Amino acid sequence: MNQGTQRFAVAIELIRSKQSAGAAFTLACDASGMEDKGIYSALDIDAGSFSRMKSGAATLRGDLVKQFCDVVGNTVYVEWFAWQVGCTLVVTQTEAERQNQLLREENAALRRVLQGGAA
């Protein structure tokens, strides 16, 4: 599972083109590359409820949204909701700083490898 370690980019235009929460939920799941069972199992949701979410007949409980985004590795679902009220999501400064630090560390390790040192 992705569990927040990998984020998958989805074009914002594609997200905004979805006509329902179910379509956005399905896009988020599809973009993850995971099987449905892996997603609903990780969230402790039964198959029937998950199917209703994909069809738009039900929505994901609010307290599971962060976990869902972590599992599928994207924020498609919440970005769609933000768009419905004329907003968009932005990464918080602290998250951006954390990601920047991780990239700097990775860059330094790669430079050491390229220079013949140990990673």
Q: Which domain holds residue 99?
A: 89-119
pLDDT at 85 (0 to 100): 96
Residue 118: the pLDDT is: 62
Q: Over 70: is that where the pLDDT of 69 sits?
A: yes
In the chain the first and final C-alpha atoms are separated, in Å, by 26
Residue 3 shares a structural domain with residue 46:
yes
Whether residue 69 is found in the same domain as residue 104: no
Residue 1 confidence (pLDDT) above 90:
no
Q: pLDDT band at residue 116, thresholds of 50, 70 and 90?
A: confident
37 and 12, same structural domain?
yes
Based on the fold, state whether residues 69 and 98 are members of the same structural domain: no
Listed in sequence order, the residues at least 6 apart from 7 whose beta carbon sits closer than 8 Å to its beta carbon are 73, 74, 75
Same domain for 23 and 44, yes or no, is: yes
Query: 108 to each of 4, 54, 104, how far by Cα in Å?
Result: 23, 42, 6
Handedness of CA 25, 88, 94, 33 (dihedral sign): positive
Pair 43, 71 in one domain: yes
Same domain, 82 and 93: no
